[in-house]
Chain A
Amino acid sequence: MPRETFQQELDDLVTVVLDLGSEVESSLENMVSAMENRDAPLAHNELGVDVRYKARGAEIESECMILQARQAPVARDLRLLYTVHSVTNHLVRSGTLSEHICKAIVESASCERDEDLEATLMEMARTVRNIFEEGLEIFKNRDIERARDLQAKDDKVDLLYSEAMNLIANPSEGGGGGEPEWRMRAALIVHYLERIADHGVDVGGSTVFLVTGERIDDAMRQYLQRNVDQDGI
């Protein structure tokens, strides 16, 4: 195949992005585990990953720019570089947010907690981790059908977000609502989790653009319209 060197460079770049994704996945796994087990030392180990992820992200960005300058990519090659750039940004941001959550876990380790709120947070954290992993798999396998399903899964995160915020704003009467500091940290964690879910969904959406050249919103509209047409509604 012509342009073998360029193709190899693109393949290598994708491998580097997927490696970064695996590392962020590990961070999310540790974050969920630290929440489930109230494991402040494990959370503490995650502090500092942000710097490493940002440096990796900068390297990938630099490589994208060099390839654009040297190879003048168009069509699917251009979409791939654009997508790699976009996905890398989502991965790095997710890694940063995971570290923020771990920091909140460490700082609230000794706080009295609301069990209902903690249970909601953990369910949200597991769901978010799954969405992120699925987004990365979609990118790895170019599985755009699942990208469309991923949007629906994000709705569950939004529901849990509302539920958690309601518990934070309206602690149960007669104690048991946890310390104010815990509720404040919990609000931050809820917000960070919701953002990570969005990044995971966007990784899937970027893959739709990579494969079809369509923005996920347009693709979703067409997809839903197709269902309407098929159902004869």
Chain B
Amino acid sequence: MSELSEERREAGQEGVGSPTGTALGMKIQDLSAFYGSFKAVTDVSVDIRANKVTALIGPSGCGKSTFIRCLNRMHEVIPGARAEGRVLLGEQDIYTRGADPVVIRRQVGMVFQKPNPFSKSVYENVAWGARINGYKGDMDALVERSLKQAALWDEVKDRLKESGYELSGGQQQRLCIARTLAVEPEVILMDEPASALDPVSTQKIEDTMEDLKRNYTVVIVTHNMQQAARISDYTGFFYIQNMGDPGRLWEFDETEKMFSNPDRKETEDYVTGRFG
């Protein structure tokens, strides 16, 4: 168990704690991902810096989503899918024998492309995860804090008993972010969280990112390169050199560098829209 989790357990907040400010980073070493015999991603080694936003960009089908699903052991839930290599959350190898995928997924939360609230009230959507994890603290305070962190509180504070389905698409996505935050993860993975949203909702999600990284490590997959340039500290470019090859992490650097003067031609061609 990580040092941070240890501290939380001692504080009686196992699995759910208050934001401490410092999150854990991730270290990925020689990670490859398979669907049956098909290798979708190969040999990815990269450090995901703590308390930073890392954006993953690249053409469709190059393995970005597959890669982040390996970071919280979601990849293996697909029949025949597996991953090889090491993924460290802090010092803990999440693929080591005995590592509990459920605990890992609580520490490394995920927000999906399409908002998927539960068919419960706004309040219960946020409280549910913490409750089943045995949270003994002030649930009202936890719900309020999570909704505030997701920049949704002001819009729903008088609608907490309404169904999550009653909210707009953008609000539903922020509700899903609040739900993820309520179990106090170290890392939040976001797979195109704003691709189905209008510009105003997208802007709210992006504004939320800046606040989130104070307490969490964020990894976001996006097809919107301006979004990656706006919100991320680091950017990774995934690329498939030849049809049928597995995806590779082609270049990884600070976002400023990636969008002003990347080292590799393929990266520059992609970010300038000169592919094809």
**Bound pair: A and B?**
yes
Task: Report A's interface with B, CB cutoff 8 A.
Answer: 1-3, 6, 72-79, 212-213
Interfacial chain B residues near A2, Cβ < 8 Å: 273-276
Cβ A76 vs Cβ B272 within 8 A: yes
Interfacial chain B residues near A77, Cβ < 8 Å: 272
In the bound complex, how far is the Cα of B261 from the Cα of A76, in angstroms?
7
Within the complex, the shortest CB–CB distance from A14 to chain B, in Å, comes to 16
Cβ A74 vs Cβ B229 within 8 A: yes
Between-chain CB contacts (< 8 Å), 21 pairs: A1-B274, A1-B276, A3-B272, A3-B274, A6-B273, A73-B272, A74-B225, A74-B229, A74-B259, A74-B260, A75-B260, A75-B262, A75-B272, A76-B268, A76-B272, A77-B272, A78-B259, A78-B260, A79-B260, A79-B261, A212-B261
- Restricting to B203-249, which residues have a CB under 8 Å from any CB of A? 225-226, 229
Which A-B residue pairs are the 7 nearest by beta carbons?
A: A213-B261, A74-B259, A3-B273, A2-B276, A75-B268, A74-B271, A75-B272
In the bound complex, how far is the Cα of B273 from the Cα of A3, in angstroms?
7
In the bound complex, how far is the Cα of B261 from the Cα of A213, in angstroms?
6
Interfacial chain A residues near B274, Cβ < 8 Å: 1-3
**Known contacts A1-B276, A75-B262, A75-B272; can you find 15 more A-B pairs with CB under 8 A?**
A2-B273, A2-B274, A2-B276, A72-B226, A74-B225, A74-B229, A74-B259, A74-B272, A75-B260, A75-B261, A75-B268, A76-B272, A78-B259, A79-B260, A212-B261
Cβ A75 vs Cβ B276 within 8 A: no
Q: 1/0 per position for B132-148, CB-CB distance to A under 8 A?
A: 00000000000000000
Interfacial chain B residues near A78, Cβ < 8 Å: 259-260
In the bound complex, how far is the Cα of B118 from the Cα of A174, in angstroms?
100
- Restricting to B68-112, which residues have a CB under 8 Å from any CB of A? none
In the bound complex, how far is the Cα of B229 from the Cα of A79, in angstroms?
15
Q: Among A3, A73, A74, A213, find the residue whose CB has the most chain B CB atoms closer than 10 A.
A: A74
Q: State which of B226, B259, B275 has its C-beta within 8 Å of the C-beta of A75.
A: B259
In the bound complex, how far is the Cα of B271 from the Cα of A2, in angstroms?
12
Interfacial chain A residues near B229, Cβ < 8 Å: 74
Q: State which of A6, A75, A79 has its C-beta within 8 Å of the C-beta of B271.
A: A75
Interfacial chain B residues near A213, Cβ < 8 Å: 260-261
Task: Determine the residue in chain A with the shortest Cβ distance to B261.
Answer: A213
In the bound complex, how far is the Cα of B217 from the Cα of A79, in angstroms?
31
In the bound complex, how far is the Cα of B265 from the Cα of A75, in angstroms?
11
Interfacial chain B residues near A1, Cβ < 8 Å: 274, 276
Interfacial chain A residues near B276, Cβ < 8 Å: 1-2
Task: Determine the residue in chain A with the shortest Cβ distance to B257.
Answer: A213
In the bound complex, how far is the Cα of B271 from the Cα of A227, in angstroms?
34
Interfacial chain B residues near A75, Cβ < 8 Å: 259-262, 268, 271-272
In the bound complex, how far is the Cα of B45 from the Cα of A146, in angstroms?
40
In the bound complex, how far is the Cα of B226 from the Cα of A79, in angstroms?
16
- Restricting to B2-44, which residues have a CB under 8 Å from any CB of A? none
Interfacial chain A residues near B226, Cβ < 8 Å: 72
In the bound complex, how far is the Cα of B269 from the Cα of A76, in angstroms?
9
Interfacial chain B residues near A72, Cβ < 8 Å: 226
Q: Among B259, B262, B273, B276, find the residue whose CB has the most chain A CB atoms closer than 10 A.
A: B273
